[in-house]
Amino acid sequence: MNFWKDKKNKFIKPDLFSTDAENLAKKVAEDGTRTCNKRSQIRKFYDEVLNFSARVGKDPIEFEKMLPYLKMLNAKAAYAKGRGLISDSFKNFLSSSLQQVNDKDDFEVFTGFFEAFMGYYRLYRPSE
C-alpha cells in the first residue's frame, strides 16, 4: 500500500485514512485468534510509534538520528510473529509501511495511517 498520491506535492492518497485503513484493520482482525493480534499487542507497536514521534518532535535532524530505531520495529515484529503474537498481515503492514518512511513527512503520514487503523481495529476486534 502506498501512502502518497503525489509525494513531490505532498498529496496523501485520498482513501488512505478511511477505506485503506479500514480494509487493513478488518484483515488483521480476521487473521487474529484468541492469542494472535490481540488489541493490547497491536497497541504496543502503536505506542512505540507515538513515543518515537514525541522523542523527535519537529526536528528533522533528530528524526534522521532516530530513524534506525523506528525501523527496528521490523525486528520487534519478527520477534512477535515468531512467538505467535501477531499475524503475517500485521507484520507485513509494519514492514511495508516502514519501507516508505524516509523523512518526517513520510513518518507523519504513517503515524496518521496507524492511528486510523487503530480506530477501525477497535471496531473489528472489540474485545480481547
Phi, psi of 87 (to 5 degrees): -90, 170
pLDDT band at 117, cuts 50/70/90? very high
In the chain, DSSP assigns E strands to 4-6, 11-12
pTM comes to 0.94
pLDDT at 128 over 80: no
Which residues, other chains included, contact 53 with Cβ-Cβ below 8 Å and sequence gap of 6+? 107, 111
Structure confidence at residue 58 (pLDDT): 81
Rounded to the nearest angstrom, the gap between the alpha carbon of residue 17 and the centroid of all alpha carbons in its chain is 12
* SS3 at position 51: helix
Specify the pLDDT at position 66: 93
